[in-house]
Chain A
Amino acid sequence: MTFPLFLQLLTNGLVVGALLAIVALGVALIFGVVRVVNFAHGEFVTLGAFATYLVVTQLNISPLLGIPLAFVLGAAVGAGIQAAIVSRAAGRPELDVLMVTYALSIIGLGIFSSAFSGDFRSYSEGPSGIFTLGSVVIGLRSLTVLLVCLIVGVGTILVVQRTRIGLALRALAQSRDSAAACGINVPAAELFAFALAVGLAAAAGALVSLIGTIHPRVGHDLVLDAFVVVVLGGMGSIGGAVLAAIAIGIVNAFTSFALDDSWARILTYCLLYATLLLRPHGLLGRHVGA
Chain B
Amino acid sequence: MILSLDSIEVRYGQAVAVDRVSLGVGAGKWVLVMGPNGAGKSSLLRAAIGLVKHRGRITFEGRDLSAEPTWIRQRLGIGYVPEGRQLFTEMTVEENLRVGGYGCSAPALRRGLDLAYGMFPRLAERRGQIASTMSGGEQQMLAMARALMIEPKLLLVDEISWGLSPILVAQVFATLVELHAGGIAILQVEQNAFEALKHAQSALVMSAGRLVLEGAADEIARDRRVVESYIGA
Contacts and interface: CB of A to CB of B under 8 A. Distances in A.
B82 A177 contact: yes
B71 A180 contact: yes
Interface size class of B (residues with CB under 8 A): 20 to 34
A213 interface: no
Main secondary structure, interface of A, reads helix
Given A167-B95, A167-B102, A174-B90, A181 B69 contact: no
B88 A183 contact: no
Contacts of B86: 175, 177-178
B70 A181 contact: yes
A286 B90 contact: yes
Given A175-B88, A183-B71, A286-B90, A168 B102 contact: yes
Contacts of A164: 102
Q: Which of A177, A179, A181 counts the most B-chain CB atoms under 10 A from its CB?
A: A181
A184 interface: yes
A31 B86 CA distance: 20
A186 B75 CA distance: 13
A177 B103 CA distance: 16
Nearest to A179: B99
A22 to B, nearest CB: 23
B74 A183 contact: yes
A134 to B, nearest CB: 42
Given A167-B102, A171-B99, A174-B90, A182 B82 contact: no
A281 interface: no
B169 interface: no
A262 interface: no
Nearest to B104: A183
A180 B70 contact: yes
A185 interface: yes
B88 A170 contact: yes
A269 B225 CA distance: 64
Interface in B1-33: none
Interface residues of A, number: 18
Contacts of B146: 182
A29 to B, nearest CB: 16
Interface in A47-79: none
Contacts of B74: 180-183
Given A183-B103, A186-B71, A178 B87 contact: yes
Nearest to A170: B91
Contacts of A184: 71, 99, 102
Contacts of B75: 183
Given A181-B49, A186-B71, A167 B99 contact: yes
Interface string A175-219: 101111111111000000000000000000000000000000000
A173 to B, nearest CB: 9
Nearest to B81: A181
A86 B147 CA distance: 31
B175 to A, nearest CB: 19
A114 B187 CA distance: 61
Contacts of A182: 71, 74, 99-100, 102, 146, 149
Contacts of B49: 181
A181 B45 CA distance: 12
Q: Which of B74, B88, B89, B150 counts the most A-chain CB atoms under 10 A from its CB?
A: B88
A181 B102 contact: no
A65 B166 CA distance: 65
Q: Which of B86, B87, B99 counts the most A-chain CB atoms under 10 A from its CB?
A: B99
Interface string B31-54: 000000000000000000111000
26 contacts: A167-B95, A167-B98, A168-B99, A170-B95, A171-B99, A171-B102, A174-B91, A177-B82, A177-B86, A178-B87, A178-B88, A180-B70, A180-B71, A181-B49, A181-B80, A182-B71, A182-B146, A183-B74, A183-B75, A183-B100, A183-B101, A183-B150, A185-B69, A186-B70, A186-B71, A286-B90
Interface of A: 164, 167-168, 170-171, 174-175, 177-186, 286
Given A167-B102, A174-B89, A183-B71, 15 more contacts: A167-B98, A168-B99, A170-B95, A175-B86, A177-B51, A177-B86, A178-B88, A180-B50, A180-B71, A181-B80, A182-B99, A182-B102, A182-B146, A183-B150, A185-B69
